[in-house]
Structure formats: C-alpha cells, structure tokens
Amino acid sequence: MSTLAPPADPESDPRVKAVFDDIRATRKSDFINNFWLYLAFDPALLEDTWHGVKEVMAKPSALDPLTKELIYIAVSLTNSCRYCVHSHTAAARAKGMTDAIYADLLRVVSTAGRTNQLLNALQVPVDTVFDAEATVERN
C-alpha cells in the first residue's frame, strides 16, 4: 500500500525514459525497482533524485562502493525506513557483503544504538579534546 499510484506507462514521458535508461545502463540490469517507478509521477523529482543518488553512490570516491552501502543501511535502519533497508541490504550483498560482514555491521549499529541511548539519557558534557576547532590538525 502506497500513498500514490505509479504512472501506468511511465516511459511514455521522455524525461522518465531517459532516467530509466540511465538507471539500466549504470546498473547493467533491466530491472527498475519500485522507488524509481513511483517517483516517476513527477519527472523533475525523479531526475533530481536519481542524479543525486548516482553521483554519490555510483561514482568512484574516497570510500569503496560496499562501505558506502553499509553506511547507507546504517542510516536507513536508524530512520526506520523499511524500503531503504531492504533495497540497500540487497545492494550491499550484490557488492560483496558476506554474512560475516553483515553480522559485523549489525554488531556496530546495535552497539551504537545502545550507547546513543545512554548518552542521550545522561547528557554528558562533550570533552573539550573532541573539539575540532581547538585541537585537530587536518590534512
């Protein structure tokens, strides 16, 4: 159940078709998942969202593709975004996430969830040594 119905024939709109073609080319797969299909109700929103995601997730950068997917999962589960958790867990597996890596990810996110609750409860003052403006030399 969604809050809008996807367009009946999305690729009849040339802007939507161009994005879908780019998704297929970028991923080397014919599959268009529901997120993009539903976003196609507004071609400008589809374009902006896809270009933003592609720029960050598909372009070579300081972090390798699997690490980026693990971070994406971590944010998505903390935000309780069910669709995002499913799609990015699948993407992480496709990029090499083994069960051992997945278990390690779960260990870190659950440890963070545990200490986040403690620190949001205690409101402990931040140590001044953690102040980047005062103490960190950056490269």
Tell me which residues in 54-93 interact with its own copies (CB under 8 A): 55-57, 61-63, 67-68, 70-90, 93
Position 19 contacts its own copies (CB under 8 A)? no
Q: Between 17 and 33, name the residue whose CB sits nearer to its own copies.
A: 33
Number of residues that bind its own copies (CB under 8 A): 89
Q: Are 39 and 45 a contacting pair, CB within 8 Å?
A: yes
The reply to whether 8 sits near its own copies by the rule CB under 8 A is no
Query: Which pairs from 71-76 meet CB under 8 Å and 24+ separation?
Result: 73/105, 74/105, 74/108, 74/109, 74/112
Pick between residue 5 and residue 25 the one whose CB is nearest to its own copies. Answer: 5
**φ, ψ dihedrals at 65, nearest 5°:** -55, -40
Question: Is 21 or 90 the residue whose CB approaches its own copies more closely?
Answer: 90
Q: Which residue shows structure tokens 């040594």?
A: 129
- 121 belongs to the binding site for its own copies (CB under 8 A): yes
User: How far is Cα 50 from Cα 48, in angstroms, rounded to an integer?
Assistant: 6
10 sits near its own copies (criterion: CB under 8 A): no
Q: How far is the CB of 91 from its own copies (least distance, A)?
A: 9
Interaction between residue 24 and its own copies (CB under 8 A):
no
- 25 near its own copies, rule: CB under 8 A: no
In angstroms, how far is the first alpha carbon of the chain from the final one?
A: 49
Tokens, residue 21 = 């073609």
